Amino acid sequence: MRVIFKENIYNKYSISALIAALEHKGLLEEIEVIIEDSDSLKEMKRHGDRVIFCFSFCSPQKYDVFDSLRKLKEIYPEAIFIAGGPHPSGDPEDTLKAGFDYVLRGEGEDTLPKILKILNTSEVKSKIIKGDIVDINNFPSWSEKFHRFFPIEITRGCPYACKFCQTSFLFGTKPRHRSIENIIEYVEKFYKNGKRDLRFITPNALSYGSSDGKTINLQLIEIFLKRIREISESIRIFFGTFPSELRPEFINREVLKLIKPYIFNKTLTIGAQTGSDSLLSKINRGHTVDEVYYAVDSATECGFSVNVDFIFGFPEETEKDQIETINFIDRLITLGDKRNVSVKIHAHHFMPLPGTPFYNKKPARLSQKLTRYLGRLFNREKIFGDFHKQSLFCRNINKLSYN
């Protein structure tokens, strides 16, 4: 049996985790795994082996994935197609309607190997399969056989359940942390394989080790960073930056002074989402505008540059909310300019994601004042992100006209 993972820049981390799980379960000795980023696999038709394609994707990639699926089904009409990831998990019916044979909802490390074992000889009765919730300590961070050393996941699950975000609804609201001993085991392998830039996957880097995900365990965070540093001073630790971020209410000068000697990154990513307290309450964000300002104030005072996440076009977002956000962004950028450090806006357009309370909600229209303001920020090089792509996707799925 041949299992082909369809990879792109958006799913390489999740695919790496799944391949590592197959390796951990010993399946790489039974099946041939191929990682492919194109549809040009015509040579596979010469083989009589059962072929299974595995896709993992988010909603913004669904149209590209569905197009790729149609092309592949023409070339491999007898192949089996499995979908997983945020979009299939949130809207399995939409995914099956596109032509997939099976949808794996939720976590796949334990369930995908079981499915593949069955499909090697027979069929799976259910088209929609719920993935088992896993202890991330029981699964490796990366595949050594495929030499895939991507960011290590240290926490899964988020207690906040923001209405626009899939994380809590996919992985639950109780955080599950990888133990320090488990992390160190994999960092040692990382280092022995010649890797030096170490990054982490977590909803909020400063929640590591917290029993509820809402309080900070500063002592454990220091132990965590210190243990990594003891492996080698040449390991460059990226903490509180992509592919993770920091929630603003966790940030203060004491925290930043503690972590700064251990980490390599000079820029922190802070999730604000909006400059309106009223809107923060509506989206169930769990912090205030003042807490965002204090976080950026603390970070810039400690010498960090800051990228601040904002989402525009939330359902029920008013022009007053947008004006408050404009004024707040101005305050943050001015704060950075005064301290001669960079404060930039990572701009997103709201997207209704399956499985969230906002899935069936339409985005608010952006006022002319806001769109012109964002354009001025772009000209000043104070803003970045996939805002326009996300806006186009949102218009497409909602058949909206902004003319």
Whether 292 and 170 share a structural domain = yes
Residue 77's CATH number? 3.40.50.280
Residue 99 counted as domain residue: yes
Residue 136 counted as domain residue: no
β strands within 27-112, DSSP E? 32-36, 51-56, 80-84, 102-105
Question: Directed axis angle between helix 111-119 and helix 12-24, to 10°?
Answer: 70
Whether 257 and 159 share a structural domain = yes
Whether 72 and 106 share a structural domain = yes
Residue 367 counted as domain residue: yes
Residue 19 counted as domain residue: yes
User: Domain boundary residue among 98, 130, 162?
Assistant: 130
Whether 156 and 54 share a structural domain = no
Quick one: which of 390, 169, 72, 202 has its CA closest to 83? 72
Whether 107 and 151 share a structural domain = no
Residue 363's CATH number? 3.80.30.20
Residue 154 counted as domain residue: yes
The pLDDT of residue 209 is 97
User: Domain boundary residue among 83, 105, 130?
Assistant: 130
Whether 88 and 162 share a structural domain = no
Looking up tokens 């104070």 gives 382
Whether 332 and 187 share a structural domain = yes
User: Domain boundary residue among 130, 158, 187?
Assistant: 130
The pLDDT of residue 395 is 78
Whether 340 and 208 share a structural domain = yes
Residue 135 counted as domain residue: no
Does the model's pTM come out above 0.75?
yes
Overall residue count recorded for the chain in this entry = 403
Residue 221 counted as domain residue: yes
How far is Cα 29 from Cα 15, in angstroms, rounded to an integer? 18
How far is Cα 388 from Cα 317, in angstroms, rounded to an integer? 18
pLDDT tens, the chain, 403 aa long: 899 999 999 999 999 999 999 999 999 888 899 998 765 555 555 455 789 999 999 999 999 999 999 999 999 999 999 999 999 999 999 999 999 999 999 999 999 999 999 998 888 889 999 999 999 999 998 898 999 999 999 999 999 999 999 999 999 999 999 999 999 999 999 999 999 999 999 999 999 999 999 999 999 999 999 999 999 999 999 999 999 999 999 999 999 999 999 999 999 999 999 999 999 999 999 999 999 999 999 999 999 999 999 999 999 999 999 999 999 999 999 999 999 999 999 999 999 999 999 999 999 999 999 999 999 999 999 999 999 889 988 877 755 433 3
Q: Is 383 helix (H, G, I), strand (E, B) or coil?
A: strand
Q: Where are the alpha helices (DSSP H) in 120-244?
A: 167-171, 180-192, 218-231
Other CB atoms within a 10 A radius of the CB of residue 156 amount to: 22
The pLDDT of residue 205 is 98
Whether 186 and 325 share a structural domain = yes
Domain count along the chain: 2
- Alpha carbon distances (Å) from 68 to 42, 73, 97, 98: 14, 9, 15, 11
Whether 257 and 118 share a structural domain = no
The pLDDT of residue 401 is 37
Whether 111 and 177 share a structural domain = no
Q: Which domain holds residue 30?
A: 2-130
User: Under a CB-based contact definition with an 8 Å cutoff, are residues 103 and 96 in contact?
Assistant: yes
Whether 79 and 171 share a structural domain = no
Residue 17 counted as domain residue: yes
